[in-house]
Amino acid sequence: MSAGPEVTDEEWETLERAAREVREHAHAPYSGYRVGAALLDAHGGVHRGCNVENASYGLCLCAERGAVARAVAEGARRFRALVVVTGGARAAAPCGMCRQVLAEMPPSFPIRCVSLDGDRFDTSVSELLPHAFDAGYLDE
């Protein structure tokens, strides 16, 4: 099951451009590791997020969760794709906390992870977090 038609090359390119751009806005003075994320919703809207760090380190917000928060605030609940752009040699997948947040709004969707150095791979929410804890478990 998916939230729409297969993502086109043009849509992937739009998302990657958006993620690269928003990464420039990252607030990452502690790690120096900037991340940009762009989510495509079922209506074609693009929602962007960057990591926002804090002097109280545990409060750091990841780019992916920032993008989800922005999307939900705009009324988007169903997603077709996510692109995450990071610095460094290796493309990076969303962290564990972000995986759980991305799994909150099924169905699963494809995720493209891209590094500035050109490394990249495709995965998906369900591949990154099989057997996710979801709302169904709360129905006792």
Q: Which residues are catalytic?
A: 64
Closest to ligand THU by CB, 41 or 64 = 64
Residue 19, helix vs strand vs coil: helix
Instruction: Tell me: does residue 33 bind ligand THU (CB under 6 A).
Output: yes
**Counts of helices then strands in the chain (DSSP H, E):** 4, 5
Residue 35, SS3 per DSSP: strand
Q: Which stretch binds ligand THU (CB under 6 A): 2-10, 11-19, 56-64, 108-116?
A: 56-64
Site membership for ligand THU, residue 95 (CB under 6 A): yes
Note whether 51 binds ligand THU by CB under 6 A. yes
Per the CB < 8 A criterion, the answer to whether 31 and 63 are in contact is no
Assign 77 to helix, strand or coil. coil
Q: Which residues bind ligand THU (CB under 6 A)?
A: 28, 31, 33, 35, 51, 53, 60, 62-64, 94-95, 98
